[in-house]
């Protein structure tokens, strides 16, 4: 479980972000902070794995809090998604220098946040199973942590025969598909279908969307990137 802290001065927005995160399997919200001081205390107390950090907070700038977090013992440091309306280069550069995993500009929708959280979750899971990794794997995981929109176009990504079959199936069907549908249509195991779909999201060939049904648990659907 990825314990997540929401840091947002607007109570209503904090509740919305909390709902987005809570609806993703494998994530749970452990608190909502509305000031830098409150956020720091909650991080020290709760040791979240991930912080969704707004920058414009009433008592201090969010990046000052981010910098302060770097002074905590290693086991208490959380990964940070910066979520802000700030689009100026200075804020973006400093956030990336401090080690932000993501910088997401407001406004955004729940699918955009969910997509990035899921790619982050996948990268964490890969790292948790390894003691050492190769340079190629480091490069791939760096791209995965930054999310699917990493500047690589789908036309640049390599296509295996299975990946090509999946792309053709989606293009012919003209609608997003689930891993179960790919599994049934192409005669793959569900695990194999899910692995290919996740890799193709990472490569920029596909995009992930979430469809929420009556149960509250989202269905993961995949469509051609940019369409």
Count of Cβ atoms closer than 10 Å to residue 202 Cβ: 21
Q: What angle do CA 226, 102, 126 make, to 5 degrees?
A: 90
Where in the sequence is the domain holding 201, given as residue range(s)?
148-224
How many Å apart are CA 188 and CA 179, to the nearest integer? 10
Q: What is the CATH number of the domain that holds 29?
A: 3.40.50.2300
Residues 110 and 158 in one domain: no
Q: Is 204 left (phi over 0), alpha (psi -120 to 50) or beta?
A: left
Could you tell me if residue 56 is inside a domain?
A: yes
| Same-domain check for residues 13 and 114 | yes
Which residues, 6+ apart, have CB-to-CB distance to 191 below 8 Å?
none
Whether 130 is in a domain gets the answer: no
Domain assignment present for 6: yes
Both 85 and 154 in a single domain? no
Residues of the chain with pLDDT under 50: 148-158
- Residue 150 is predicted with a pLDDT of 39
Indicate whether 94 belongs to any domain.
yes
Number of domains in the chain: 2
Write the pLDDT tens digit of every residue in 49-60.
999 999 999 999
Q: What CATH number did the domain enclosing 166 receive?
A: 1.10.10.10
Answer yes or no: pTM beyond 0.75: no
| Same-domain check for residues 14 and 110 | yes
Q: Kind and range of the H or E element at 51?
A: strand 50-53
Per-residue confidence (pLDDT) for residue 146, from 0 to 100: 56
Is residue 132 included in any domain, yes or no? no
Write down the pLDDT at residue 223: 87
Q: What is the pLDDT of residue 138?
A: 67
Q: Would residue 188 count as lying in a domain?
A: yes
pLDDT value of residue 151: 40
Measured CA to CA, the distance from residue 214 to residue 8 in angstroms comes to 29
């Amino acid at each position: 479980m990825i314990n997540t802290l929401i840091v947002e001065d607007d109570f209503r927005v904090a509740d919305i972000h909390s709902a987005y995160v809570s609806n993703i399997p494998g994530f749970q919200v452990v608190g909502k902070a509305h000031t830098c001081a409150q956020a720091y205390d909650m991080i020290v107390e709760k040791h979240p794995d991930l912080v969704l950090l707004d920058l414009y907070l009433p008592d201090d700038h969010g990046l000052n809090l981010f910098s302060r977090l770097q002074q905590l013992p290693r086991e208490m440091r959380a990964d940070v998604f910066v979520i802000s309306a700030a689009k100026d280069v200075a804020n973006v550069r400093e956030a990336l220098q401090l080690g932000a995993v993501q910088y997401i500009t407001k406004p955004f929708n729940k699918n955009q946040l969910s997509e990035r959280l899921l790619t982050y979750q996948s990268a964490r899971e890969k790292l948790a199973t390894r003691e050492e990794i190769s340079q190629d794997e480091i490069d791939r995981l760096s791209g995965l942590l930054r999310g699917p929109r990493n500047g690589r176009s789908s036309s640049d990504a390599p296509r295996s025969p299975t990946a090509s079959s999946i792309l053709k199936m989606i293009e012919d069907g003209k609608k997003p598909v689930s891993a179960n549908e790919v599994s049934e249509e192409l005669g793959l195991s569900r695990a194999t279908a899910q692995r290919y779909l996740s890799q193709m999201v990472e490569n920029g060939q596909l995009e992930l969307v979430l469809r929420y049904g009556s149960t509250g648990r989202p269905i993961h659907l995949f469509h051609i990137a940019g369409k």
